[in-house]
Structure 1
């Protein structure tokens, strides 16, 4: 999950912005540190050549230097971030080879559901994409807010219950990557990881055909079981029964996930508060 080893154009642009921003800030930090050490050395007590100006009050040239350099730095740093963020608008399509792959992403407690509506399949905690193809992701959440992030492919983006966000990516090299949740969402958050398999465009139809033979069927009933809070250690696959399932999730026709449930141990636990202080 090294963001400095990008495997796609969006991640490469993110890495460039990060490196440029660090370089701009170092252009101020390093000279400042050097100046502090130089001033401390020159104006040491044993240096009789150091001058002392007890009546000094104001210098226009000095004020110009003190204020212009930080102002120019902020303008330059802000310009890099502003231009880069607009160029990397998540909704802007990304060029690629072959047909775009449409993927619908649902963040669950505590797992990721990937729906391929055009291929009529779905997977949990495993995302498989063809190399070079434009990836058109639609994202929502089954319950709490979350953040979808594949560090080596591109920008992180929020998933929110009752809303749909969009993200366009592309993977330029075959291989296995790692995705994660970048927003705390409860006890199972540390295990909310997913695999990303970037395969050849020729192998992608074979993977779709093999996944379509899965004995599991994803419909409203099986989806509701997935929304229950649990950590999925496997990588189950499904045949998609209803291609409109994602729309039903995003429009809340299917209720949000149930969230944590009270147990007898919760009810028996003593309550603490002002009234219990003795």
Structure 2
């Protein structure tokens, strides 16, 4: 009976291991977070790997010793040492406290350095690990607006805009200016860099660079309603000629202009919005989206704050 029960347990354990391995390997086909294509994301992947290895220095020995202790001091092992009076070991205490302390100090150092080096608000300091930043390179500015449930991208340098598609030349620094036309959201291209939040009436920034050609997935990483799961877009990493061709393709649609009235229609809630190109963009559109005054009857936030500031100063002078 005991042998039969043991056989059943072994089969169950084997099936569990097989299922776990299958699930683990199923995610390896496109493990872009750990094998990214942009320098910022590569540095972040290194930080994840280094932190994981350091933590495994504690986890792996503990797991192995747990199994070893359970086997060595099992009830049927009459040769195991039994010391009911044992109460202290200076060596054991030193190992237990010193090893985690050293690992925590190393993790703290890695985190501190990486937090400042990978600050998304700071311009990038290099193109890649073995390629410094050229002195004459121009940063590509892309204005990002999270909408329900789609992404709007504005290229102020080229006066064009797109919905749910973005492109950038490889090895050229990119500055994303990010806001939201609705609720809080999160802008994320795993192959390029980490995620950063998009908030209405506020602007966040992210600097990055793509080092290899390809088409990469981008999406929202923050729940924002029932259409959240369809907030996907494609990021195209291309060479300079490919980027010029992409810009020309967008500009070829002469009748597609994104003005303030067009934006008010675009921001209506939709799911599964198709890729859309706009050959021209209305003046100050991103500024007005950021300051919540696309509607001509609404006072812009920055103007309102400027007026409030002067009112406050005048009120103080009046009291004096």
TM-score (ref. length: structure 2): 0.75
Indicate the residue corresponding to 2:72 in structure 1.
Answer: 42
Q: Any idea what the Cα deviations from partners look like across 1:172-226, whole Å, max 9, x if unmatched? A: 1111111011001101011100011112212322322331232211111111111
Counterpart in the other structure of 1:178: 217
**1:58 shift after superposition:** 3.2
The structure with higher relative contact order (CA 8 Å, sep 6+) is: 1
Q: 1:1-278 counterparts in 2 under 5 A?
A: 2-94=32-124, 95-96=126-127, 98-214=137-253, 215-254=255-294
> What secondary structure, in the 3-state scheme, does the structure 1 residue paired with 2:194 have?
strand
Runs of 4+ displaced beyond 4 Å:
none
Q: 1:125 to 1:250 in 2, by over 3 A?
A: same
**Conserved 8 A contact 1:127-1:196:** yes
Q: Give the match's secondary structure for 2:240.
A: coil
Question: Helix, strand or coil: the match of 1:158?
Answer: strand
> Which one has a larger percent helix, Structure 1 or Structure 2?
2
Deviations 1:63-122 (A, max 9, x none): 222222222222222322232222110012124464221100000000000000110000
**Cα distance in 2, alignment partners of residues 60 and 243 from structure 1:** 73
Task: Give 1:237 deviation, angstroms.
Answer: 0.6
User: 3-state SS of the aligned residue for 2:162?
Assistant: strand
Corresponding residue of 1:266: none
Paired with 1:153 and 1:17, the residues of 2 have a C-alpha distance of 15
- Distance change >3 Å, CA 205–CA 52, structure 1 → 2: same
SS at match of 1:86: helix
For structure 1, the residue ranges without an aligned partner over 5 or more in a row are 256-278
**Aligned counterparts of 1:243 and 1:92: Cα–Cα separation in 2:** 27
- Deviation at 1:243? 4.0
Q: Could you say what the CA RMSD is over the residues aligned between the two structures, in angstroms?
A: 1.7
Question: CA–CA distance in 2 between the matches of 1:243 and 1:199?
Answer: 28
8 Å CA contact 1:140, 1:162 repeated in 2: yes
Aligned partners of 2:173, 2:76: CA distance in 1, in Å?
A: 67
Shift of 1:4: 1.9
Q: Determine the C-alpha separation between the residues in 1 that align with 2:148 and 2:264.
A: 12
Report the TM-score when normalising by structure 1: 0.86
Tell me the matched-pair count. 255
Alpha-carbon shift at residue 23 of structure 1 (Å): 0.9
- Deviation, structure 1 residue 247: 1.1
Q: Does structure 2 conserve the Cα–Cα contact (< 8 Å) formed by 1:117 and 1:243?
A: no
Contact 1:164 1:250 in 2 (8 A): yes
